[in-house]
Structure 1
């Protein structure tokens, strides 16, 4: 049982790291968008506000990637949990091909509830600020 417990601990550490990375990306996205708005407030060019969409799109994609990795490792965790103690090989291979499901796809992660409810309002705020400041 010791091998199984250690293997599950390794996988759980990876899952925690992926969740932490996702949280940090959300913080950086808000910080960069706010910083761009502050800098754009000094400039009167309307196109400068469009730069705020770049971090939203980039961080949305990166966050979806980390969510995908987290889901793949959760699938690996579940697989190891059901594996017999004698068959534990300490493999950390978690690929979309190995855990092929609808939930473990990049597009499903990109449009998941956690991503949409954060990045879509952020994009709408960018649109609102650009619209209000340049009417």
Structure 2
């Protein structure tokens, strides 16, 4: 019976991890959609740069939000590992993240990690190149 409690607890944590990963994936999709839409409105013949500059705002916002979801995912992965090490009588179904877990990761470091930089830097580069095209 105690083993089933531990398995249920681990399943709860895994569901949170899955939800965070899904949110991160959706944010990347929204980022591309918004940037492409705003660049399409920019009309490259007349190059209305207002739409191009406005495209930077959601990219930076979504990058930070994506970093938050990845940060949360890492925290819950650590909680998952800690629960695996718990004795069966210590299972309490708490989703509170201890200070030890929180101190192991930093939102800013996750946001500029090798996981997110390869996606968001090229998107920002495309926006900046589109902004510079009329000057050429």
Which of 25, 33, 36 is residue 35 of structure 2 equivalent to? 33
State the TM-score, normalizing by the size of structure 1: 0.91
1:125 aligns with 2:123: no
Contact 1:64/1:115, CA 8 A, preserved across alignment: yes
Post-superposition shift, 1:36? 0.4
Moved more, 104-113 or 124-133: 124-133
Find out whether 1:7 has 2:15 as its counterpart: no
Separation (CA, whole Å) in 1 of partners of 2:30 and 2:134: 23
Higher alpha-carbon deviation: 36-45 or 14-23: 36-45
TM-score, structure 2 normalization: 0.91
Secondary structure of 1:99 counterpart: helix
Q: Deviations over 1:77-114 (max 9, x none)?
A: 0010000001000001126x341444x11111111111
How many residues get paired? 133
Structure 1 counterpart SS, 2:94 = coil
Could you tell me which of 74, 77, 87 is aligned with 1:84?
A: 87
- Work out the CA distance in 1 between the residues paired with 2:102 and 2:17: 18
Deviation at 1:124, TM superposition (A): 0.4
**Per-residue deviation, residues 46-77 of structure 1 (Å, max 9, x unmatched):** 33311110111000000000001000000100
Q: Gaps (5+ residues) in structure 2?
A: none
C-alpha displacement of 1:29: 0.2
Distance 1:83 1:124 in 2: 46
- The 1-side partners of 2:16 and 2:56 are apart by 30
Runs of 4+ in 1 over 2 A off after TM superposition: 42-48
